[in-house]
Amino acid sequence: MRKKFIVSIVFLGLVAIFACRKEQKPPARPESTGDKQTKWTIGMSQCNLGEPWRVQMNADIRNAADQHPELRVIFKDAQNDSLRQRAQIEEFVNAGIDLLIVSPKEAAPLTPPVAAAFDKGIPVIVLDRRVLGDKYTCFIGADNKKIGRAAGEWIVERLSGKGRVVELKGLMTSTPGQDRHTGFREGIKGTSIDVIFEADMKWLEPDARREMESALARFKAIDLVYAHNDPGAHGAYLAALASGREKEIIFVGIDALPHEGQVYVRQGILGASFEYPTGGSEAIAVALKILSGESVPKEIVLNSRVFTRENIERGGDWISPKEVEDE
Ligand code: FRU
């Protein structure tokens, strides 16, 4: 009797263990959602949704994916936290996604989880900000160095080669911040443009406003602010407005969203805004190719336009910095 009892306890124990293990298995891929015949699940790891530009990137991805019933995209927002983004990428991998799209907050901390996904055989599309090394399938983004250089050259021309400039940098642990800085410095090289104040505003409008308040307090004369994105340029403008100095300063930004930077240019708040395409629809086109077994280039470089008061009504001008011809 006792033996029988022990045998049944062991049996029940084994059943319980197997039931738990089954639960821990990654969820089966959805074959259909409603009338959609989902074939592939894409995980999209977005570093932050605090800026309009990133909301637009997600919308571009969603709109492009909606044209393809065989695709399902799951979005995760890391809320500007590299550790959270890392964990979210790992969650995607454990859930058995077919492809990862990632727009990483910072290069170094996000490189290992992206490489781990790639090493597991999951195709990875890196969008806009880069990771280190080459453990990804395809990078899609505009050339930030070229944009920075074009901004530098535009500023040289606008200031006739001479003036005091404030540079409000994007997060310098992210690659667009580094490239928009080096490109800009190349663009103003050999001129009498003097960068009198520079600070890392981490892509954030409130930080840019605070940094600009310091610049305004320290310097009586500022001719122009070069901010690495439009929220930064707008934050600087608000600081200048609050101290009644907005009319003496030209503000230049990057992104040129139709409902953000381009509006600022139309309103005369920004002297120029350089387009930074989100690459969202391109990412879906590339994802489809990868998932269908086609090969794709390792790098896809998107073009950029500059919008000024003079050219905005005709849709801006494509940028082509002088140095590019020498490359
Ligand atoms: C949004 C943003 C954009 C900028 C891009 C650079 O988070 O700061 O304004 O162009 O990221 O990666």
Q: Rounded to whole angstroms, how far apart are CA atoms 270 and 258? A: 13
Q: Give pLDDT, residue 8.
A: 53
Ligand 1 near 128 CB (within 6 A) = yes
| Largest distance between two CA atoms of the chain | 100
Residue 199 burial (CB count, 10 A): 17
Q: Rounded to whole angstroms, how far apart are CA atoms 182 and 194? A: 15
Q: Give pLDDT, residue 4.
A: 55
The structural domains of the chain, with segments of one domain joined by +, span 40-128+278-296, 144-275
Q: Rounded to whole angstroms, how far apart are CA atoms 12 and 120? A: 35
Cα 258 to ligand 1 centre (Å): 15
Residues of the chain below pLDDT 70: 1-36, 322-327
Show Cβ contacts of residue 66 under 8 Å, excluding neighbours closer than 6 positions.
none
Q: Give pLDDT, residue 32.
A: 40
Ligand 1 near 228 CB (within 6 A) = no
40-128+278-296 and 144-275, same CATH topology: yes
Atom of ligand 1 nearest to the CA of 254: 10
pTM over 0.85: yes
Q: Give pLDDT, residue 288.
A: 98
Pick the CATH number of 144-275 from 2.120.10.30, 3.40.50.1370, 3.10.105.10, 3.40.50.2300: 3.40.50.2300
Ligand 1 near 201 CB (within 6 A) = no
Pick the CATH number of 40-128+278-296 from 3.40.50.2300, 3.40.50.300, 3.30.1370.60, 3.30.420.40: 3.40.50.2300
Say if strands 250-255 and 272-275 run parallel, antiparallel, or are unpaired: parallel
Residue environment code for 3-25, b if the CB has 16+ CB neighbours within 10 A, otherwise e: eeeeeeeeeeeeeeeeeeeeeee
321, 150 Cβ separation under 8 angstroms: yes
Q: To test ligand 1's pocket by mutation, which of 168, 200, 276, 302 has the most ligand atoms within 8 angstroms of CB?
A: 276
Q: Give pLDDT, residue 29.
A: 47
Cα 68 to ligand 1 centre (Å): 27
